[in-house]
């Protein structure tokens, strides 16, 4: 079985900018000027997905968690985990949102994290546009 992320940083940004333009909140030119903020927008979205719960409609819940991948780059992803199976004896974890952001875009408190393990605390974006532990 192979799972791929439902969407990535590029898709999030493109749909966000297109929505702003289609609702006449900004001009197409202004949307292009947002491009340098794509990574920051991805991190902001990630903070809101992290520790959310999705009701899958059959009583099953998917728990979302941000984590740095254990790969060489340490890309930050949001994965969904759910307990499944007829006896509820199997946990499935799949990536749903992948960013090009890495631990380099995080404060030191997150950089010390064990790669591949979800952060167990709420996250926020600092004024310097870096990911950190909420209230840190």
| DSSP codes of every residue in 23-37 | TTSS-HHHHHHTGGG
CA 123/CA 136 separation, integer angstroms? 9
Mean residue pLDDT across the chain: 89
pLDDT band at 123 (very low <50, low <70, confident <90, very high): very high
pLDDT band at 4 (very low <50, low <70, confident <90, very high): confident
Q: What is the DSSP letter of 114?
A: P
Q: 21 versus 108: which is more confidently predicted?
A: 21
Say if CB 66 and CB 77 are below 8 A apart. Answer: yes
What is residue 64's three-state secondary structure?
Answer: strand
pLDDT band at 57 (very low <50, low <70, confident <90, very high): confident
- Output the pLDDT for position 121: 93
- Taking only the tens place, the pLDDT of each residue in 95-119 is 899 999 988 899 988 887 665 688 9
Tell me which of 60-69, 80-89, 96-105, 125-134 is least confident.
Answer: 80-89
Residue that has been written with the tokens 């890309």 in this structure:
75
């Amino acid at each position: 079985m192979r799972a791929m992320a439902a969407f990535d940083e590029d898709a999030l940004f493109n749909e966000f900018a297109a929505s702003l333009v289609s609702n006449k909140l900004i001009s197409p030119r202004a949307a292009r000027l947002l491009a340098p903020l794509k990574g920051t927008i991805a991190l902001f979205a990630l903070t809101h997905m992290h520790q959310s719960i999705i009701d899958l409609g059959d009583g099953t819940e998917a728990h979302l968690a941000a984590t740095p991948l254990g790969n060489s780059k340490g890309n930050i992803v949001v994965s969904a985990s759910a307990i499944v199976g007829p006896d509820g004896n199997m946990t499935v974890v799949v990536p749903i949102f992948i960013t090009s952001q890495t631990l380099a875009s995080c404060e030191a408190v997150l950089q010390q994290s064990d790669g591949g393990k979800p952060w167990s605390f709420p996250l926020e974006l600092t004024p310097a546009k870096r990911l950190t532990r909420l209230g840190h």
